[in-house]
Chain A
Amino acid sequence: MAEQKTYEQKPRAVRPMRGRGMPVPKGAIKKGTFTRLLKLLFKHYKWQVLLVIASIMICSVSGLVSSVFLQTIIDDVIPSGIAYGFAYIEKKLVGMIIGMLSIYLLIVLATFMQNRLMAIITQGMLYHLRTEMFAKMQSLPIKYFDTHAHGEIMSGYTNDTDATRQFIGHSLPSFISSILTLVTSIAMMLWYSVWLTLVITVCTLFMTFVVKKIGGNSAKYMVAQQTSLAQEEGFVEEMIKGQKVVKVFTYEERAKEHFDRYNDKLFHDSEKAHVFGNILGPILSNIGNFTYVLLTIVGGLWVMFGWSNVGLQSIVSGVGVMGVGVVVAFLSMSRNFTQVVNQMSQQVSMVAMGLAGASRVFTLMDEQPEQDEGYVKLVNAKRGENGELMETQERTGLWAWKHYHKADGTTTYVELKGDIMMEGVDFGYVPEKQVLSEVSLYAKPGQKIAFVGATGAGKTTITNLINRFYDISRGKIRYDGINVSKICKDDLRRSLGVVLQDVNLFTGTVMDNIRYGRLDATDEECIEAAKLANAHDFIRRLPHGYETVLTNNGASLSQGQRQLLSIARAAVADPPVMILDEATSSIDTRTEALVQDGMDKLMKGRTVFVIAHRLSTVMNSNAIMVLDHGRIIERGTHAQLIEQKGMYYQLYTGAFELE
C-alpha cells in the first residue's frame, strides 16, 4: 500500500539556483548591440533622427563658417578699413554682420530643434524599450521567473534603461558631432599643412594611448562598480524586505557588518572608476596644450628656415612656403581637434555602460516566449433548437470549446464542463529530476478532489500542470476529453480559477483587486463575491470600505484577510474549475467553514481541486489523493482512507494516537 519513504527525490530543492549562471553577466556587451539599437532608433524615429543629424551638421558647419566670417573681418575688413576709412568697408561689414547674424540664427534654430527632437527621441525610445520589454516579459513562461532573481529583472527597467538613456541622449549625439568636427578639422589641417598634421597625428597617437590606459581602467572599474552596486542592492533589498525578522533576531549588528563589507567594496570600485574618469580630462586637455606649444615651435622653425610646405592649399595655389598665416590658422584648428578628442574620450566609459545596459535589455527581449501550439478556443455558447451548441457573442454562462479539426475541416463544439483526466503523467522541473511519476486521476464535473501529502510531495506541481505553467514530459492531460496541449493556453487558464497560498495583491483599491478576477464585473458582483468569500465584513470595517487603497501587497491587512480577498477575486471570475492551493491556511476554522459553504454553493456542479493540510478543508471532498514523492499512493473518500489506516490516517490522526 503506502510505499516506503525513500526521501531521495526532493522536488524543489534541486531546482537550478536563481540568478546564478546568468547568460549575460553585468557589464558584458553582446555582439551587435550597437547596430540593433541604431536599427530600433531608425525604426521608431527615422525622420527625427535624420533631422537631429542634420541639425548637428548645421551647427558644426555654421560654427566653422561663422569663424571664417570673423577671420575675414579681422584679416580683411579691418586693414582695408584702416587704410581707406570706415565708409569704404561699411557695406561689406554690414553684409558680413548680417551673414553672421543669419548663421547664428540658424544655429539657434538648429539647437532648438535638436533639443526638442532629442527629448522626444530619448524618452520615446525609453518608452518603447520598457513597454517592449514588459510585453515580452508577459509572454515568458513561469520557468523564467523561477530561475531569475526578481531584483535582477527589475534592474532591467531601472539601471539598464537609464544607462541606455544616457547613451542615446548624450553619448550618441555628442559622438556624431565630435566625428563631424573631427573630420572637418582633419580636412582643414590637411588643407593647411601635411607636415604639421603629421606632428599632431603623433600627439593624437599618444593621446589614444593615454585614453586606452586610463579610459580603459575607468571603463573597467565603471563596470565593476555596476556589479558591486547590484550586489549591494541585492543585499539591501533582501535585508530590508526581511527587516522584521532582523529585528526579532536582533540581527542588526551583523546585518550592518555584512552591509559594510558590500559598501566598502562599492566605495573601492566607484572611487577607482571616478578617479580614472576624472583625471582623464585634465591629462588629455593638457596634452592638447603641449601639442599646441610643440606645433607653434615646429611651425615657427618652418617659417624661420623657409622650408617648403605641403598642403592641399599649397597644391591648389602652388605656393609651397609655410607662412605665418598658415601656422596661426593651423593652430586654431589644432585646438579644436584636441578638444574634440578629449570630449570623445570622456564618453568612453559612458558608452561602455550604455551598451552593456542595452545588451541586457536585449537579452530579456530575446528570451524564448511561452510556446502555445493550442488551437482549441473557449467561446460563449447557447443551445440551438435541437439542443446543439452554437457559438454566440453574448455572455450566456454557457461555454464551449471550439474545436477545429484539420483532417476534415469541420468545427465541433464541446460543452465546457470541467472534466479533468490525467493519464500516466511524468514530470520534472529539470529533465534529470523527475518530480511526478505515473500520476493518473480523474475529476468529474461537480466533484471536489483533494490532494494531500507531506510537504514537497508534488501537490502544487500537479495543479501547475493542469493550467500548463509547466509542460509534462510523459502522459496525457485531458480537459472535457480534449488534450490540454491542443487548447490555447489563455483559454485554458481562463477556464480555471486559481487561489494560491501566497497571496499577491496589487496596488489599488480593494474593489480593483477583487475585480482583477473579471474585469467587466460590476461593483455589485464584486461585493457579492466578497460576501461569498466572507471578506465583506472586514472590508466594510476598513477606513474607506471597498475604496480603501491597498499598497505594498496589502501590508495593512492580516494574512487571513489577504487570503479572503484572494478567494473573492477568484470567486468573481466564476470559473468552471477552481484550484485552491492552501487557500485558507491562515483563516480560522470557523470563517473557513463559512467560506467553504459559499464556495460550495458557487461551485455546485463544477470541479474543484483542493490542496490543504487542514483536515477540515479536505474531508468533505469526493475523492482524496494522497501523494508521496510524486506518486499517488492512496485514493478514496475521507472515510475510506481512514479505514485503510494508511498514510492519510497517519497524517491526520497520528497526532491523537501520539498523546
Chain B
Amino acid sequence: MNGTVKTLLKSVRQYKKPSLITPIFMVIEAFCECLIPFFMAQMINQAALSAPNAMEHILTYGGILIALACVSLTSGALAGKFAATASCGFASNLRHDLFYRVQKFSFANVDKFSSNSLVTRLTTDVTNVQQAYQMCLRIVVRVPLQFIFAVIMSFVINPSLAWIFLAIVPVLGAVIFSIVRYVMPFFRRIFKKYDALNNSVQENVGGIRVVKSFVREEYEKEKFDKAASEVRNDFTKAEKIVGLNAPIMTLFINFASVLISYLGVKQIIGGAGVDFTATELSALITYGIQVLSCLMMFSMVFVMLTMSVESARRITEVLNEEEDIKGVENGVQEVASGAIRFENVSFKYAKEATVYALSDINLDIRSGETVGVLGGTGSSKTTLIQLIPRLYDATEGNVLVGGVNVKDYDLKALRKDVSVVLQKNVLFSGTIKENLRWGNENATDEELIEACKQAQADEFIRSFPEGYDTYIEQGGTNVSGGQKQRLCIARALLRKPKVLILDDSTSAVDTKTDALIRHAFKKAIPDTTKIIIAQRISSVEHADKILVLDGGKIIAQGTHEELLKSSDVYREIYQEQTKIKSQGGER
C-alpha cells in the first residue's frame, strides 16, 4: 500500500507545483468559508438590533463579507484551476509512464498481462486514480480544516455544550472505519467480476461468427446474464453498505443537536439569557451541522479512495513489472553477418514449468543460407526462431548472431537486422503505405513497390481503387488472409535485414505465389539468411538446410536429399505430399 502510493507519486513530476499550490489556495478558501457565515451572523445580529446606526454596521460587515467573498472566489477558482492541471497532468504522466513501460516489455511480459487488462489499466484505472488524486488535493486538506474550525468555534461559543460534538466523533470514526473495512472486499471482488463481464463481451464480439454458426446466442445470453448479475449483486450489496453511512451520521449528529438544543435552552434560561444567548445557540447548532457535513464528506472521500486503491494497485503492478529482457548498455551496434549459432540451447516459457519447450539445440547457419524448419503441430518451431531476435531469452545455452551473443547486442540493432514475419501477424489501421513503412520509415515509394513486388503483393495492391493508399482497417480485416500475409512479408523486407524469418507466413498463399516469393528472395536478397517455417515441403525443399523438429528437439537436419536418406519422418512427410502431387500431375 505504502509502496503503491510511492510508485504512483513518482509520476507527478512537473505537476508538483500545482499539486502543492492547490492545497494552499484550498486552505485560504476554506478559511474564508469558515469566516463568511461568522460575519453573516454578525451582520444579521446588527440588523436585528435595529439600532439607529444599524445600516452603518450592515455596510461595514457587508464590506468585509464582500472582501472575503472576493478572496474566497479567487482562491477557490485558482485552487480549482491548479487542481485540474495537477490531476489531469498526473493522469497524463501516469498513462505516459504506463505506455512507455509496456513498450519496454518483452514477449514474456506481454504474455503475463492479457492485452485487455493492459488496456483497462491504461484507461479506466488511471481515470479512477486521477479522480482520487484530485479529491485528495481539494477535499482532504479542506475538510479537516473546516472540521477543526467548526469545533473550535463551538468551543468558543460554549465549551460545556461543544463537548457533545467532540464526543460523537470517535463513535462516527468507528462507524466509518467499520463500513470501509466491511465494504473493501466487495470492491476488490467487483473489479474482478467487472473484468470477467468485459471479457465475456469482448469474446462474444470477437467470436460472433462462431456464436452464430453454433446458434449459441441463448447460451451466450445466459453466460452474460450470469456475469452481469454477479456484478449487480455484489455492487448492490456494497452500495447498500456504503448507503448506511449517511443515515447513521444523520442520526448521531441530529440527536446531538437536539440534546444541545434542550441543554442549551436550559442554560440560557438558567443564565437569564446573559451568559449564553439564543443567537449563540443557533450558531452552535449551525456549527454542529458543519461538523456533520465534514464527517459525511470525509467518509465519502474515504469510500471513494477505497475504490481507487484497487486501481492504484493494478497500475503499480505494471509500473513495477521488471522487463525480463534488457538491452545491454553500449551493446554491439552492428550485426556483422547473418550467421546464426545455437549452442546447447534449452528453453522453457515459465521458470516454474517442468517441461522444456526446446532442449539441447545445436545449430550452425552460415550467412546467406536458406534454412527450412519443418515439424508437427506444437513441436516448438515458433519458439525456436523467436530466440534469434531475442524475443525470449534462452533458458540455457547461447544464441549467436553474426558471431556475437544476442545478449551483447543493442536490442534495437539486433532486431533491425533480424526481421521476423510472425505467424500471428497484425496490420494496423492506416494506409498500406503507412503499414509498409513500419519496416522502414524513410523508405521511398520505389522501395515500397520493390518490396511489394518481391512479396507478390504489388499486383493486388494496384488492383485496389486507391492502390497503395488503400486504408487498412484495424487488424487488417478488409484484406483477405493471403493478402495480409504478403503485406506482412513486404513490410519485413523493407527492413533490409541480414536475417529474415518467415514463421508459416505463406500458409494462406497459393503454391504458385509461394514459389514466386521464394524465387524473388533468391534473386533479390541472396546475402540474407532466410529461415522459413513451413508446412509444405515444396516451400523448403530447395533450402540449403532443413531442420526437422519434434517435441522441442531437432531430430534431423540436412539438405532435402540427405534427409530423404537419413530421416524417416522427413521421408514420410515428403512421400505423403508428393504422392498428392504425382497423383494428378504426372498424366
Q: Which of B115-140 contact A (CB under 8 A)?
A: 115-116, 118-119, 122-124, 127, 134, 138
Segment at the interface with A among B162-170, B254-262, B335-343: B254-262
Contact check, A300 vs B47: say whether CB atoms are below 8 A apart: yes
Contact check, B282 vs A70: say whether CB atoms are below 8 A apart: yes
Contact check, B587 vs A296: say whether CB atoms are below 8 A apart: no
Q: Which residue of A lies closest to B270 (CB)?
A: A86
Which B residues lie within 8 Å of A285 (CB)? 72, 76
Interface status of A12 (Cβ within 8 A of chain B): yes
Contact check, A558 vs B72: say whether CB atoms are below 8 A apart: no
Interface status of B428 (Cβ within 8 A of chain A): yes
Contact check, B576 vs A282: say whether CB atoms are below 8 A apart: no
Interface status of B443 (Cβ within 8 A of chain A): no
Contact with A along B155-199 (1 / 0, CB 8 A): 000000000000000000000000000000000000000001111
Contact check, A131 vs B59: say whether CB atoms are below 8 A apart: no
Which A residues lie within 8 Å of B3 (CB)? none
Most buried by A among B279, B470, B471, B508: B508
Q: Which residue of B lies closest to A555 (CB)?
A: B111
CB < 8 Å: which of B102, B202, B247, B480 contacts A455? B480
CB < 8 Å: which of A86, A232, A299 contacts B47? A299
Given A244-B107, A296-B44, A613-B511, also A301-B55 (CB < 8 A):
yes
Q: Which residue of B lies closest to A457 (CB)?
A: B480
The interface on chain A, measured as residues whose beta carbon lies within 8 A of the other chain's beta carbons, has a size of 179
Which A residues lie within 8 Å of B428 (CB)? 238-239, 242
Contact check, B473 vs A17: say whether CB atoms are below 8 A apart: yes
CB < 8 Å: which of B236, B424, B516 contacts A658? B516
Interface status of B420 (Cβ within 8 A of chain A): yes
Contact check, B508 vs A582: say whether CB atoms are below 8 A apart: yes
Contact check, B76 vs A120: say whether CB atoms are below 8 A apart: no
**Distance in Å from the Cβ of B514 to the closest Cβ of chain A?**
7
Interface status of B220 (Cβ within 8 A of chain A): yes
Segment at the interface with A among B301-309, B359-367, B577-585: B577-585
Contact check, B480 vs A248: say whether CB atoms are below 8 A apart: no
Kindly state the separation between the CA atoms of A18 and B478 in the bound complex, as whole angstroms.
9
CB < 8 Å: which of A245, A564, A643 contacts B587? A643
Kindly state the separation between the CA atoms of A585 and B377 in the bound complex, as whole angstroms.
11
Which A residues lie within 8 Å of B243 (CB)? 112, 115-116, 118-119
Contact check, B213 vs A137: say whether CB atoms are below 8 A apart: no
**Distance in Å from the Cβ of B472 to the closest Cβ of chain A?**
9
**Distance in Å from the Cβ of A566 to the closest Cβ of chain B?**
8
CB < 8 Å: which of B70, B247, B378, B389 contacts A558? B378
Interface status of A274 (Cβ within 8 A of chain B): yes
Contact with B along A6-23 (1 / 0, CB 8 A): 011010111101110000
Contact check, B412 vs A74: say whether CB atoms are below 8 A apart: no
Interface status of A656 (Cβ within 8 A of chain B): yes
Contact check, A538 vs B55: say whether CB atoms are below 8 A apart: no
Q: Which residue of A lies closest to B439 (CB)?
A: A249
Interface status of A64 (Cβ within 8 A of chain B): no
Given A292-B40, A493-B212, A559-B424, also A247-B107 (CB < 8 A):
yes
Interface status of A78 (Cβ within 8 A of chain B): yes
Contact residues of B: prevailing secondary structure = helix
Contact check, A245 vs B426: say whether CB atoms are below 8 A apart: yes
Most buried by A among B43, B258, B262: B258
Segment at the interface with A among B84-92, B143-151, B446-454, B559-567: B84-92
Contact check, A260 vs B96: say whether CB atoms are below 8 A apart: yes
Which A residues lie within 8 Å of B40 (CB)? 292
Which B residues lie within 8 Å of A656 (CB)? 538, 581, 585
Q: Which residue of B lies closest to A230 (CB)?
A: B123
Which A residues lie within 8 Å of B84 (CB)? 271, 274-275, 277-278
Interface status of B58 (Cβ within 8 A of chain A): yes
Contact with B along A300-335 (1 / 0, CB 8 A): 110110000000000000000000100110010000
Which B residues lie within 8 Å of A238 (CB)? 428-429, 474
Interface status of B382 (Cβ within 8 A of chain A): yes
**Distance in Å from the Cβ of A514 to the closest Cβ of chain B?**
12
Q: Which residue of A lies closest to B221 (CB)?
A: A135
The interface on chain B, measured as residues whose beta carbon lies within 8 A of the other chain's beta carbons, has a size of 188
Q: Which of B372-416 contact A (CB under 8 A)?
A: 374-379, 382, 389, 391, 411-412, 415-416
Which A residues lie within 8 Å of B491 (CB)? 249
Q: Which residue of B lies closest to A303 (CB)?
A: B50
Given A296-B43, A538-B377, also A154-B481 (CB < 8 A):
no
Interface status of A286 (Cβ within 8 A of chain B): yes
Kindly state the separation between the CA atoms of A274 and B209 in the bound complex, as whole angstroms.
42
Which A residues lie within 8 Å of B584 (CB)? 619, 638-639, 641-642, 653
Interface status of B535 (Cβ within 8 A of chain A): yes
Kindly state the separation between the CA atoms of A213 and B415 in the bound complex, as whole angstroms.
54
Interface status of B269 (Cβ within 8 A of chain A): yes
Which B residues lie within 8 Å of A652 (CB)? 510-512
Interface status of A101 (Cβ within 8 A of chain B): yes
Contact check, B215 vs A490: say whether CB atoms are below 8 A apart: yes
Given A275-B81, A615-B580, also A142-B236 (CB < 8 A):
no
Segment at the interface with B among A186-194, A250-258, A353-361, A474-482: A250-258
Contact check, A282 vs B512: say whether CB atoms are below 8 A apart: no
Contact with A along B203-221 (1 / 0, CB 8 A): 1111111111111110111
Contact check, B50 vs A13: say whether CB atoms are below 8 A apart: no
Interface status of B251 (Cβ within 8 A of chain A): yes
Kindly state the separation between the CA atoms of A658 and B520 in the bound complex, as whole angstroms.
12
Contact check, A281 vs B76: say whether CB atoms are below 8 A apart: yes
Interface status of B521 (Cβ within 8 A of chain A): no
Which A residues lie within 8 Å of B239 (CB)? 115, 118-119, 122-123
Segment at the interface with B among A27-35, A201-209, A494-502: A494-502
CB < 8 Å: which of B65, B127, B212, B424 contacts A292? B65
Contact with A along B465-489 (1 / 0, CB 8 A): 1000011011101111111000000
Contact check, A469 vs B507: say whether CB atoms are below 8 A apart: no
Interface status of A552 (Cβ within 8 A of chain B): yes
Which A residues lie within 8 Å of B473 (CB)? 17-18
**Distance in Å from the Cβ of B197 to the closest Cβ of chain A?**
7
Which A residues lie within 8 Å of B104 (CB)? 252
Contact check, A328 vs B48: say whether CB atoms are below 8 A apart: yes
Segment at the interface with B among A43-51, A419-427, A523-531, A587-595: A587-595
Interface status of B319 (Cβ within 8 A of chain A): no
Q: Which residue of B lies closest to A453 (CB)?
A: B510
Most buried by B among A86, A116, A278, A643: A278
Contact check, B573 vs A247: say whether CB atoms are below 8 A apart: no
Which B residues lie within 8 Å of A54 (CB)? none
Kindly state the separation between the CA atoms of A501 and B482 in the bound complex, as whole angstroms.
12
Q: Which residue of B lies closest to A278 (CB)?
A: B80
Which A residues lie within 8 Å of B95 (CB)? 232, 263, 266
**Distance in Å from the Cβ of B184 to the closest Cβ of chain A?**
17
Interface status of A362 (Cβ within 8 A of chain B): no
Q: Which of A496-511 contact B (CB under 8 A)?
A: 496-498, 500-501, 504-507
Contact check, A243 vs B105: say whether CB atoms are below 8 A apart: yes
Interface status of B297 (Cβ within 8 A of chain A): no
Which A residues lie within 8 Å of B220 (CB)? 134, 138
**Distance in Å from the Cβ of A169 to the closest Cβ of chain B?**
8
Which A residues lie within 8 Å of B99 (CB)? 236, 255-256, 259, 263
Kindly state the separation between the CA atoms of A18 and B429 in the bound complex, as whole angstroms.
10
Segment at the interface with B among A103-111, A174-182, A389-397: A103-111
Interface status of B545 (Cβ within 8 A of chain A): no
Contact check, A244 vs B202: say whether CB atoms are below 8 A apart: no
Contact with A along B32-55 (1 / 0, CB 8 A): 000010001001100110100011
CB < 8 Å: which of B255, B377, B511, B587 contacts A561? B377
Which A residues lie within 8 Å of B110 (CB)? 243-244, 247
- Known contacts A270-B88, A467-B213, A589-B537, then 5 further A-B pairs from the complex at CB < 8 Å, ordered by chain A residue: A134-B225, A137-B205, A538-B378, A588-B535, A656-B581
A-B contact pairs, 9 of them (CB 8 A): A100-B258, A145-B208, A248-B389, A267-B89, A285-B72, A289-B72, A328-B48, A469-B212, A586-B423
Which 5 residue pairs spanning A and B have beta carbons closest together?
A282-B76, A278-B80, A115-B243, A455-B482, A504-B207
